[in-house]
Amino acid sequence: MTTPALLAVIAVCAPAAAALLLVLAPALRRQGAPAAVACIAASLASLGAALALALGRSPGEPAVRHVVPWLQAGSRTIAEVGVHVDGISAAMLVVVTLVALCVQVFSVAYMRGEARRGFGRYFAYHALFLFSMNLLVVAPNLLQLFVGWELVGLASYLLIGFYFAKPSAARAAVKAFWMTKLADMGILVGLVVLFVSTGSFEWTATPEPAVATAVTLLLFLGVMGKSAQFPLHVWLPDAMEGPTPVSALLHAATMVAAGVFLVVRAHPLFELAPTTGDVMLWVGAVTAAFAAGLALVQTDIKKVLAYSTCSQLGYMVAALGAGSAFAGFFHLGTHACFKALLFLAAGSVIHAVHSNELAEMGGLRRRMPLTAVAFGIGVLSLAGVPGLAGFFSKDLILTELEGRAGWVPWALLLLTAFATAFYMGRVFVLAFLGAPSARAGHAHEAGLAMTGPLIVLAVPSAVAGFFGGGLAAYVGASYEPHFGLTPLLASTLALAGIVAAVLVYGRGREVAFADALRRLDRAGAVDRAWKLLYSSALLWLSGVLGWFDRYVIDGLMNATGFATLEAGSAVRVVQTGRVRDYALAVVAGAILLSLWGVLS
């Protein structure tokens, strides 16, 4: 095994070991603190391995693969497991492990109030998640990627439902599971189609164009579920029922980006299917605009960020649809940093005021200056203010979209850029500026465990954009920041959005906008549509199926089961317990065999 492969294996196995330890040693887990130590130590090892791996690679170096056969049929290997290290997986590993470590350290302070048992359980889930995510990232083929994909889905389910005693959290967990699982069926079918047509699970496989379109569309269905694309996005806002650090790690920075990562990874496959690209372009643009519109009117700080995540994922998907894997991947990286920063800062605020509602906050900049600055950096970066990370990646996407599909997606995303700046400005104004609310009066900055990760994440959120060229060279793409019309328009719109937000909310003029905005408040519409679909169509269908199942299938099953049991009793009859009967059977069998031998 070569050094890069070994490092990748360490990055995957360290959290796996921690998770296994915490599962096998319940006593340790229930203690709480040791669980956190084990989990964070594993993440640290993972991050170390990822950094060593990434820094040890020179740009343009060929991919390193180390695989062992997994499933074999005769002499043929159906699938392999192992690690595949190239620029993309190395960079992604660093992002994932860095954010994970920050979030876990932050969690130590954030979850301090939990009972010991819950505290340990929380970190056990985190270790499971990091293992699954790393397994996905270094996967050498789509099958292992899918295994990791399903495992992160499991971790997500467990973590959303972490407060399972709360009915809304339990419901949200089940909803997230169902929605993403529904979409995952697409991947499963897509993989089977791919394997049947090409005989492999490699993303470098080259099926017929029609098959490629079918496979990529099916894969994209899974991506829509995991990366919360319209209309399968409804689970993500509800997923905010989980602890805020979980939202930062899974539902903003890493897990939801797995869909984008899948497309980046399987880019050779997607290139064969231009139709899928068009679908992705439109789905991404519509999601971005739609989710941004909903973000404008949320009163819950986490919901704003959740819709914002949907919207930004829409950007990435649109970029992938336009055929620019690098633009999508670049935005994935910057978004991971600044969205995790925003969520953790929001977590810090929520921790201080014990509420998610924007109305309960206000004037926090004096009480929590560090959080305010961190959140501010996140806001500016997300809004796309020139110089900050989000600016570069978002503008790259917009530039890539120029002229595509009659400029409509481009226009939609520009509009979204304005809306993004506006709603983030709104959140910042409502939470940090103005007069303190009753609750906000006693708020104070938490300890280093919380502020440390904020500082660590604020740095890349601010400056990561300047490393775009380096990243491009690292993953084997090319990137030249250029300052044409689109970036100019976008940054003007971003600044305009922020200014508008300050003017509207900073001066208490939101009343005038309230009516207009309320019309936008159709957050529930898609939910209701799904509910309608479920309740009328699905419930009717399931009613019919249920009847069929109960009376026809069950009837058959019961008949079969009854007959089987009867047959079982019949078998018993020959079991007399008498040696002579058994001997008779042996002799009879021997004679019958001999007769057959002679007569045949």
Partner 1 sequence: MNPDIAQRILSQATLDASGPFLALALGVLVLVFLELLPALAALRQIVFLGSLAAAAWAATRTLFGPEIAAFEGTYVANSTTSWWALLFVASALIAWIFGRRYYRDEARFEGEHDILLLTAASGMVLMAGSRDLLVFFVGLETLSVPLYALSGFRRARRESVEAGLKYFVLGAFAAAIYLMGAALLYAGTGTIALAGFQERSELLETPLALTGLALIAASLFFKISVFPFHLWVPDVYQGAPSPVTTFMATGTKAAAFAFLLPLSFALPPESAGLVAAIALITMAAGNLGALVQTDMKRLLAYSGVAHAGTMLLALAGMHADPESGGASQAVLFYMAAYTFTAGGAFGLLTMLETQGGRPVTIDGLRGLARQRPGVAAALALFMLSLGGIPATGGFLGKYLVFSVAVRADMIAAAVVGVLISVVALGYYLRIIVAMYMQPEDATRPVPAESRPLSSAMALACAAMVLVLGVLPGWFLANVR
Q: Which residues bind partner 1 (CB under 8 A)?
A: 68-70, 72-74, 77, 561, 564-565, 567-572, 574-575, 577, 579, 581-583, 585-590, 593-594, 596-598, 600
- The residues near 248 (Cβ < 8 Å, ≥ 6 apart) are 99, 103, 106, 339, 340, 342, 343, 344, 347
Q: From 318, 29, 93, 78, select the one nearest 199 (Cα to Cα).
A: 78
* Cβ neighbours of 170 (radius 10 Å): 15
Residue 23 Cβ vs partner 1, minimum distance, rounded to whole Å? 11
Distances 277 to 274, 280, 282 between C-alpha atoms, Å? 5, 5, 9
Which two three-digit tokens encode residue 597?
């031998």
Distances 242 to 50, 228, 438 between C-alpha atoms, Å? 28, 16, 26
Residue 266 Cβ vs partner 1, minimum distance, rounded to whole Å? 25
Residue 547 Cβ vs partner 1, minimum distance, rounded to whole Å? 25
Residue 86 Cβ vs partner 1, minimum distance, rounded to whole Å? 24
Residue 203 Cβ vs partner 1, minimum distance, rounded to whole Å? 22
Closer of 3 and 576 to partner 1 (Cβ): 576
Residue 191 Cβ vs partner 1, minimum distance, rounded to whole Å? 16
For CA atoms 193, 195, 197, 203, give the dihedral sign: positive
Closer of 31 and 77 to partner 1 (Cβ): 77
Closer of 55 and 590 to partner 1 (Cβ): 590
Residue 347: in which H helix or E strand, if any?
helix 325-353
Closer of 478 and 569 to partner 1 (Cβ): 569
Which two three-digit tokens encode residue 282?
């439109």
Closer of 552 and 585 to partner 1 (Cβ): 585
Rounded (10°) CA dihedral 173, 179, 185, 187: -90
Distances 247 to 262, 425, 559 between C-alpha atoms, Å? 21, 21, 49
Closer of 68 and 485 to partner 1 (Cβ): 68
Closer of 81 and 496 to partner 1 (Cβ): 81
Instruction: Provide the 8-state DSSP code for 233.
Output: T
Residue 596 Cβ vs partner 1, minimum distance, rounded to whole Å? 6
Closer of 77 and 355 to partner 1 (Cβ): 77
Residue 27 Cβ vs partner 1, minimum distance, rounded to whole Å? 13
65: three-class secondary structure by DSSP = strand
Distance CA 294, CA 151 (A): 30
Instruction: Provide the 8-state DSSP code for 384.
Output: T
DSSP letter for each residue of 428-479: HHHHHSSS--TTGGG-----HHHHHHHHHHHHHHHHGGGGHHHHHHHHT---
Residue 162 Cβ vs partner 1, minimum distance, rounded to whole Å? 23
Closer of 529 and 567 to partner 1 (Cβ): 567
Residue 237 Cβ vs partner 1, minimum distance, rounded to whole Å? 35
Residue 154 Cβ vs partner 1, minimum distance, rounded to whole Å? 15
Closer of 136 and 294 to partner 1 (Cβ): 136
Closer of 519 and 572 to partner 1 (Cβ): 572
Closer of 5 and 377 to partner 1 (Cβ): 5
Cα maximum dimension of the chain: 105
Residue 542 Cβ vs partner 1, minimum distance, rounded to whole Å? 25
Instruction: Provide the 8-state DSSP code for 476.
Output: T
Please name the residue that has the structure tokens 């990232």.
137
Which two three-digit tokens encode residue 7?
């490092």
Residue 556 Cβ vs partner 1, minimum distance, rounded to whole Å? 14
Distance CA 103, CA 452 (A): 10
Which two three-digit tokens encode residue 360?
């309960």
Closer of 70 and 530 to partner 1 (Cβ): 70
Distances 11 to 48, 94, 97, 144, 456 between C-alpha atoms, Å? 8, 10, 9, 16, 21
Distance CA 119, CA 34 (A): 10
For CA atoms 425, 361, 254, 37, give the dihedral sign: positive
